[in-house]
Structure 1
Amino acid sequence: MLFMSSPRRACALRTHINFRFCSLVAAMMAILLLTGCATTSDMMDKLNTSLRGYEKAIRWAKFDSAYSYHKWDDDEQASIPSYMENIRVTHFETMGEKFDPKNKVMKRTVKLRYYNTEYQREKSMRYPQEWKFFEDSKRWYLVSAPITFQ
């Protein structure tokens, strides 16, 4: 009788070990997946924070702050044209967004209405933006040309 029960016990033991192993693998996969999602989620939170900060800077004519969102070359200086001190933005609207998660790039077009305090005539423009995530600084930068209200 002992001989007959041994294969059953061995089979039950193998089934239990397989179940435990599969559970362990599933738990490890879930942890890896959640860790990856947290990183992506953190990156997207940083993008949203950058987009809101940039919009706020433009809306309130804080162009020095808006220019800080740009990625400048080491030899390039951020110089804000003097006429921009007279610019007031009356409307900021996102027209369309396209996110490329593989390359960590966000492209969007913004529609702006603004006026120059010297001329008091409202104008509108579309401003295409390209935002890119830089791993070294863990930050999103605006890599398209800086806004100029012409």
Structure 2
Amino acid sequence: MWSNFSIIVWIIIGTAALLLDLATSSFLFVWFTLGAIAALIVQILGYSMFTQIIVFVLISILCMVLGYPMVKKIIKKQENSILSIEKNYIGEIFIADKDIKDEGVLKFQGVYWRVTNSGDYIKKGDKVKIISVKGNKIFIEKVEEE
């Protein structure tokens, strides 16, 4: 009876931790999924619930201490490469697909961006230039026709 119950408990804990991690994108809870898998293996091998809990706690902590810094470093590298790509957008000129007084959304290279107008009123069809990028927002100004 207890063994079937503990199998279900470890599956629920592992699944809940994985879903929580997917929902938060924080990589803090996935380590508990690994701990639950280890505890489940220990349970299948016939060890006591006390041993399963110890294995769960130790594996979760060990994976978190060793894995979390590595994952954060990898994510930081990816963020930096994305930021450098976005910096290449500065100076790009494109046609506004709608009017923008102060803020709005414009399509640039197939992607909709939140934009802030740093210059004169922009009408649909005007040429605009990207002057800076901050996060998911681009700052634009109207390009004066010569």
User: If the length of structure 1 is used for normalisation, what is the TM-score?
Assistant: 0.30
Bigger strand fraction = 1
Query: Relative contact order (C-alpha < 8 Å, sep 6+): which is higher?
Result: 1
Bigger helix fraction = 2
User: If the length of structure 2 is used for normalisation, what is the TM-score?
Assistant: 0.30
